[in-house]
Amino acid sequence: MNTIKQLSIFLENRLGTLQKVLEALQQQNIEIQAVSVADTSDYGILRLITSDQFKAEQLLKHNGILANINEVFAIKIDSNTGAFSKAVNCLTEKGIEIKYLYTFSLQNKLVLIVRVDKLEAAEAVLTASGLELVKGWE
Amino acid sequence: MNSQFWDPEIETMPGKQLEKLQVERLKKTIELAMNSSFYAPKFKELGITPDCIKTVDDIHRLPFTTKQDLRDNYPFGLASVPLEKVVRVHSSSGTTGKPTVILHSQKDIDQWADTMARSMYCIGLRNTDVIQNTSGYGMFTGGLGIQYAAERLGAMSIPAGAGNSLRHLKFIEDFGTTALHCIPSYATRLAAVMKENGVDPRDTKIHTLIIGAEPHSEAQRKRIEELWGAKAYNNFGMSEMCGPGVAIECQEQNGMHIWEDNYIVEILNPDTLENVPDGELGELVLTTLNREAMPLFRYRTHDLTRFLPSDCPCGRTHKRLDRFQGRSDDMMIVKGVNIYPIQIEKVLMQYPELASDYLITLETIEDNDEMLIEVELANATDDFAALQNLSKSISRRLKDEILLTPNVKLVGKGVIPQSDGKAVRVKDLRHNH
């Protein structure tokens, strides 16, 4: 599978809940590479890409924090205007819906983290498109 | 003043005579219940016949009846008459668990209407009054119970039903409503809506409010009276006994007279089930004396109250009950609806997305009872919409079960407080509790 692991963490909107997550990761020298948050007035979902997702998941669960892992695509594109559009378009023209996406920059390039509704269909489309899929880094 | 009675003979009957009447009616009720497939074997086993009853104290020989008995014998297992004599069924809320069902014969309906009419008369209502009912009509007894009583009294009745405050306001103004039946929290809520719409409740013709079905304090009554410029009387009823009309305050506003021609009233220690000393707090236990379709013996209400000492200046001889001081079980009364935590738990347990801990918090927000349910998620997810749909779905299913819509909040691990390792299920922060 040409996907990467994403860690999703359930956080209540209370003072200190985010700090608890960050401290736990820091103590085990787990690096955070990308972050996105979806939030309501009651809670948020913190989505992380870290240097060791499985270790991070175990660590957080051990600390009484709800966390789980799921598959997302990481698409590396040039930071020009057309590339972003091309990446999104190759999915949507095949009827694949994007549930959410976020980005981070890596070595002067842009990485799109994309969660889709049809994982296997998306994999075929993306592989055929010639877009660069990141399967892990370092 | 208080010199008028709906039924002077019964209402002012001297104690000894009232007891004699109770003994007579208890014997008759036992005879009836020997036709019930629930009571007949119990009576047989305990050797109980009408002849066993010589004095009211002999009530102690009879078995208790619980809400669970009603559920276990759902729907018609406690009938004491052939079902063709039953003319109406009332029922408690609840869709997942078995509801409790109460059967009424024509005689029961007549008796009930007459007793609630007596209660209305007792607080000064007459056939010249216009009585508007804000209770829901349907399986809940607060609708039809008040309706039939208002008609029996000969008043003009306005069966407006639950909800829609603007419509209530319109009727109050257009029909010249003089008396309102409502739960106490709705009395304050409706007053607020009226004020928002430029009507001071004090300027209406309403002079009396019948409030009940929800525990409230003396301070809350005073506040309601102040808001409405009217008298508010505490009214007690429960569907198992008939509905509204079991006990009511007289114009002295000092305790509710419980109609002893219709009920034998015991106040017992909920643990030992023995009588508490007169005037001490205990659980109210009631035996019906004037119902035929489904008489109940020593029914455990789980309401905690006490007898008020000495005679009432109004001249009524029927004993007075103090304001209810809570429950001997975990039942909550929210917006006039009786709710047990187990009903909520049953709904929550249907969701594999949830862990087992939950906390119900009751609060007063803008004079309204509000219920917040915090539930622990079992797993995290990256799917935001799924979480939002989950709280909505829980809220909807709970509405079907408990008839009101709680706010549902998803929480993570360790948020729900634990005491002695046992989860605290209910936190009641309402002003009147």
Beta strands B86-91 and B418-419: pairing type? unpaired
* pTM for this model (two decimals): 0.78
Q: Give A-chain residues touching B410 at CB under 8 angstroms.
A: 10, 42-43
CATH homologous superfamily, domain B334-428? ANL, C-terminal domain (3.30.300.30)
Residue numbers in B near A17 (CB within 8 A): 412
For residue A68, list chain B residues with Cβ-Cβ distance below 8 A.
379-382
Phi, psi of A119 (to 5 degrees): -65, -50
The topology under which CATH files domain B8-329 is Rossmann fold (3.40.50)
Asked if A9 lies within 8 A of B384 by C-beta distance, the reply is no
Distances (CA, A) of B70 to A105, B304, B312: 67, 21, 35
Under 8 Å between Cβ of A26 and A55: no
Closest CB to A42 among B410, B413, B414: B410
Q: Which residues of A touch B384 (CB under 8 A)?
A: 38, 45, 100
Domains of chain A: 4-71 (3.30.2130.10), 72-133 (3.30.2130.10)
CA–CA distance, B384 with A100 (Å, rounded to integer): 10
Complex ipTM value: 0.84
- Which residue from A12, A14, A45 is facing B384, i.e. has the nearest CB? A45
**B384·A38 Cβ contact <8 A:** yes
CA distance B112 to chain A (A): 48
What tens-digit pLDDT sequence spans chain B (433 residues)? 445 899 999 999 999 999 999 999 999 999 999 999 999 999 999 999 999 999 999 999 999 999 999 999 999 999 999 999 999 999 976 555 678 899 999 999 999 999 999 999 999 999 999 999 999 999 989 999 999 999 999 999 999 999 899 999 999 999 999 999 999 888 988 999 999 999 999 999 999 999 988 878 888 899 899 999 999 999 999 999 999 999 999 999 999 999 999 999 999 999 999 999 999 999 999 999 999 999 999 999 999 999 999 899 999 999 999 999 888 888 888 888 888 888 898 899 899 999 888 999 999 888 788 999 999 999 999 999 999 999 999 999 999 888 889 999 999 988 887 655 556 688 889 876 5
Nearest-neighbour CA in chain A from B350: distance (Å): 20
Residue of A nearest to B378 (CA): A66
Instruction: State the Cα–Cα distance between residues A69 and A20, nearest whole angstrom.
Output: 19
The C-alpha of B358 sits at a distance from chain A's nearest C-alpha, in angstroms, of 15
Search chain A and give the residue with CA nearest B415. Answer: A12
Residues A51-58: contacts with CB within 8 Å, 24+ apart? A51/A138, A53/A5, A53/A6, A53/A7, A54/A5, A55/A28, A55/A30, A56/A7, A56/A25, A56/A28, A56/A30, A57/A7
> A68 and chain B: CB distance < 8 Å anywhere?
yes
CATH code 3.30.300.30 region(s) in chain B: 334-428
